[in-house]
Amino acid sequence: MQYRTLGRTGVQVSTLALGAMNFGAIGRTTQDDATAIVDAAIEGGINLIDTADMYGQGESEVMVGQAVKGRRDDLVLATKAAMPMGEERNHRGSSRRWLVKALDDSLRRLGVDHVDLYQVHRWDPATSDEETLSALTDLQRAGKIRAFGSSTFPAYRIVQAQWAAREHHLSRYATEQPSYSILQRGIEAHVLPVTQEYGLGVLAWSPLASGWLSGAVRAGQEITTSRSQVLPQRFDLTDPANQARLDAVEKLAKLADQAALSLIQLALGFVTAHPGVTSALIGPRTLGHLESQLAAADTVLPADVLDEIDAIVAPGVDLAAHEKFDTPPALLDPSLRRR
């Protein structure tokens, strides 16, 4: 396992980090399953565990808390807030009112008195940067969080938040958590240059592209991955974007074979090769999944392999741009751009 400094925090984290979204009902994992995965991840050198309040409506945090008992101080523990937690309209977003309560709820579920990294899960257009940053700064000064970050923010919002922190003399986001994989490279054109400019740590989620790069999605085979059952439209091969992804996967699989690597090693090695990326977040549902992903812990792709990847999927290109979560609202809602 390799380790890198998380932005400018001084904290050393593994280049593969354990994402806990699949703990609980989402991934059909029990507490014993989750604990076994955490045990094996730590044994493999992983020291960063990332979860969120909305994963199973708190279930993932409870499982993570149980799994890390007795060794919490040896781990970098991260969680997130801002996504809806029930039907109540104010139980979401990044207002001070909600973030303070959401953090207390997360700490209770995790069974800890602080988290190392607290992240705003999505940009909240209804709340000002000053409001959010002020609340996060106060929570940091109270010792409940050590650092805070953003997740899936558009590049211009990352810049705006950095400016707001300086303007109002508040602590600033130390990290960003974007979606990034060989098949979704759009952040290379805008987000990663910004995070590098401001010295943010980057925790890349979905490095296996929702299973497309796991080796389980191949031409001529029925697609039976867990994600394809939940989001079948993302794997419907009558969609030109999905067919383009499959064509790319076939070329990438051939390249991986030539390089004596698994497709997973190629995919994770690609993400961690970017100088702006701190860690790739893996989200195994089973020990088998974890083992196949840990095999990429020391993968370093040579320049010629990286060049071949660029020839298959060009730098800065998203093969499924419609699945991005950082699209400016005006591109999605005609009323915001025409009225």
DSSP state of 80: E
Q: Tell me how crowded residue 316 is: count the other CB atoms within 10 A of its CB.
A: 12
CA distance 52 to 80: 4
Residue 107's nearest CA partner among 152, 150, 51 is 51
User: Active site residue: 55, 118, 173, 180, which one?
Assistant: 55
Residue 302's nearest CA partner among 251, 249, 266 is 266
Look up 3 and say whether it is catalytic.
no
Tokens representing 261 are: 């690597």
Residue 231's nearest CA partner among 217, 218, 244 is 217
- Give the max Cα distance, the chain: 57
Cβ contacts of 9 within 8 Å, gap of 6 or more:
146, 147, 174, 175, 201
Half-sphere exposure of residue 5: CA atoms within 13 angstroms, side-chain side: 7
CA distance 97 to 296: 41
- Please give the angle made by the CA atoms of 233, 181 and 1, to the nearest 5 degrees: 130
Cβ contacts of 238 within 8 Å, gap of 6 or more:
none
DSSP state of 257: H
Tokens representing 305 are: 């392999």
Spell out a b/e string for 82-100, using b for 16 or more CB atoms within 10 Å of the CB, else e.
bbebeeeeebbbbbeebbb
Residue 244's nearest CA partner among 221, 269, 212, 207 is 212
Catalytic sites, residue numbers: 55
